[in-house]
Amino acid sequence: MTAAAAKILILDGEGIGPEIMAEVRRVLDWFDRKRNLRFEIQDELYGSAAYARHGKVISDQALTAMRQADAILFGATGGPAFERIPAPVRREGTLLRIRKTLDLYANLRPVFAIKALEQASALKPRVLQGVDLVIVRELTGGMYFGEPRGVTTLPDGSRVGINTHRYTSGEIQRIAQVAFELARTRSRRVCSVDKSNVMEAGALWREEVTRLRDANYPDIELRHMLADNCAMQLVRAPAQFDVILTDNLFGDLLSDGAAMIMGSLGMLPSASLGAVQADGRRPALYEPVHGSAPDIAGQGIANPLGAILSLALAFRLSLGLPAEAVRLERAVTAALDDGARTADIALAGESTVSTAAMGAAVLAALDNLAP
């Protein structure tokens, strides 16, 4: 990080978002006080709170701040309050629209086994041994954005819902480049996942990924796998994977399934990245993979570790602080080793801690790891 303070924008969002982001703020404050790091933190409303104040899901001021931030930290979206916003207004500010507006086309979701949480996983400990992978998901194309789309009424009165799975060669090449470059920092292995056996866009995906590897990344081992087989392999033998490259829809599904490797969806962090701009800034949004969890919102029992680990990703990928990223990740592991458990990662009969207490456990671990 340069001498100038890093600009961090925080959007709490809906449901459990404010609760987990409160713990992220405490961690940022620790690094400010104990590690002499400089952060310029700005808070903006998102969702129903923003609609109540501005008549929009996200204000123009917040959008401007998003474009200027070095890193955006996002809590959660969705839930009853969000759904009560009029649909046309809601669509203008969805997380999908934000990703498209900022062109955050590359979603990274690291998944790794944590020894202390082996029993919280639905997978057997022997299956979890050595698991350390990253899912690289294309985030602004495919089924979620393809046209035509919508629901129409046919002449006979029946209705049809249409979504289009569409990819251009350019969209495929740029996300594949992210995966190959990432693989060069790891074990130089990429598994590209598609449904080329039944989808033309999948066949193009496979062709373009292969062409790019052959032309520019001959040092990377590339294999292809059908998405349904990959889903099975992630629960059968996840340690076989290093970097998984896949499209928007399959990446969404596979990463949620892979969360059980870490014991809970509440543990999984993510980074959504855009292209490096002329001024050197790269748009980036960091968020836990879990949703707004309205059923437990306001109870103080949500797991903040996915959000805290997302901050570690921001340290590493946007703020030029790789050593601090490692420090924070070690603190999370230490807190879990010491027995801190929120309800989602606790075994039957185990005592649980609140959201704030889990945050406090991470802070205590950071103190113990310092300097």
Closest by Cα among 301, 327, 302 to 315: 327
- Give the angle subtended at the CA of 252 by the CAs of 182 and 66, to the nearest 5°: 70
> Does 141 have pLDDT greater than 80?
yes
**Per annotation, catalytic residue among 32, 43, 132, 256:** 256
Q: How confident is the model at residue 3 (pLDDT cuts 50, 70, 90)?
A: low
- Range list of H helices, 237-294: 248-258
pLDDT at 111 over 90: yes
pLDDT at 233 over 80: yes
Q: Is the pTM of this model over 0.85?
A: yes
Residue 195 is among the residues annotated as catalytic for this protein: yes
Catalytic residue among 70, 252, 286, 344: 252
Q: Examine the pLDDT at 126 and tell me if it is beyond 90.
A: yes
The yes-or-no verdict on residue 1 having pLDDT over 60 is no
- Whether 243 shows a pLDDT value over 50: the answer reads yes
Looking at 46, 51, 105, 144, which residue is catalytic?
A: 144
Model confidence pLDDT, tens digit, residues 18-36: 999 999 999 999 999 999 9
Residue 25 structure tokens:
């703020």
Give the C-alpha separation, 121 to 126, whole Å.
Answer: 12
The one catalytic residue in 228, 337, 338, 367 is 228
The CA distance from 44 to 65, in Å, is 9
Average pLDDT over the chain, rounded to whole?
A: 95
Run of H or E including 367: helix 355-369
Compute the average pLDDT of residues 5-17.
95
Residue 43 annotated as catalytic = no
Tens digits of per-residue pLDDT, 66-92? 999 999 999 999 999 999 999 999 988
pLDDT, residue 237, reads: 97
pLDDT of amino acid 280: 81
Can 100 be counted among the known catalytic residues?
no
Tens-digit pLDDT profile for residues 145-197? 999 999 999 999 999 999 999 999 999 999 999 999 999 999 999 999 999 99
- Residue 295 known to be catalytic: no
Which residues fall within 8 angstroms of residue 250, CB to CB, at 6 or more apart?
A: 137, 193, 194, 195, 227, 230
Question: Rounded CA gap, 351 and 246, in Å?
Answer: 39
Are 310 and 290 in contact by the 8 Å Cβ rule? The answer is no
As a whole number, mean pLDDT of residues 116-142 equals 96
**Ordered structural domains, the chain, with CATH:** 1-110+263-371 (3.40.718.10), 122-259 (3.40.718.10)
Looking at 7, 12, 56, 195, which residue is catalytic? 195
Predicted pLDDT of residue 277: 87
Q: Are strands 159-162 and 150-153 parallel, antiparallel or unpaired?
A: antiparallel
Is 343 in contact with 352 (CB distance < 8 Å)?
yes
Q: 48 near 80, Cβ under 8 Å?
A: no
344 is catalytic: no
